[in-house]
Amino acid sequence: MHIVYPAVVSALLFSIGVYGVLARRNTILVLMSVELMLNAVNLNLVAFDVWLGDRLHSGQVLTLFVIVIAAAEVGLGLAIVLALYRNRRTVDLDQLRDLAEPADDHAETPTVVRLQPDPATQPDPATQPGPATRAEAVEAGDHRDGEGAPVRRGGGTR
């Protein structure tokens, strides 16, 4: 077998993988493209191992290591993608740039955030009417039991 055939197939697979990483916006498809590139490397390792006739089969041993690393990368990558989807409801790479540095440092001025509410603008709680029934209290977000103690989300009291 000529070494050219697996080398050309491997180059095509690797090129498709690079295109997928650079052109795709979906995180899952980017992970699939990285796996395609790793499989192209595996094909080259096995092909050159057979072509060189190595007695230790170093290419095949390295291929096993690459497969193990690829499996770990898939597990970790999918865990990150699931965590991102739970928090942001998207896996689009263009919308996941919240932690990126801004393009222009002087474009946005910092805003002042007031940590405590102004007592002059807050209504007096003693004059505000409370909910008449337990259902109205739950709708309003006031989770308290019959004695006024806060109720945990699970329904039990502390």
Range 4-95 classified under CATH 1.10.287.3510: yes
How many other C-beta atoms lie within 10 A of the C-beta of residue 2? 9
Q: Please give the mean pLDDT across all residues of the chain.
A: 80
Confidence label for 30 from pLDDT (cuts 50, 70 and 90): very high
pLDDT at 90 over 70: yes
Confidence label for 1 from pLDDT (cuts 50, 70 and 90): confident
Q: Where are the domains of the chain?
A: 4-95
pTM exceeds 0.75: no
Check residue 56 and give its pLDDT.
87
pLDDT at 65 over 80: yes
Query: What angle is formed at CA 72 by the lines to CA 69 and CA 73, rounded to 5 degrees?
Result: 85
Check residue 87 and give its pLDDT.
83
Q: What is the mean pLDDT of residues 139-148?
A: 62
What is the token pair recorded at 99? Answer: 């932690």
Check residue 14 and give its pLDDT.
97
Q: What is the mean pLDDT of residues 60-89?
A: 92
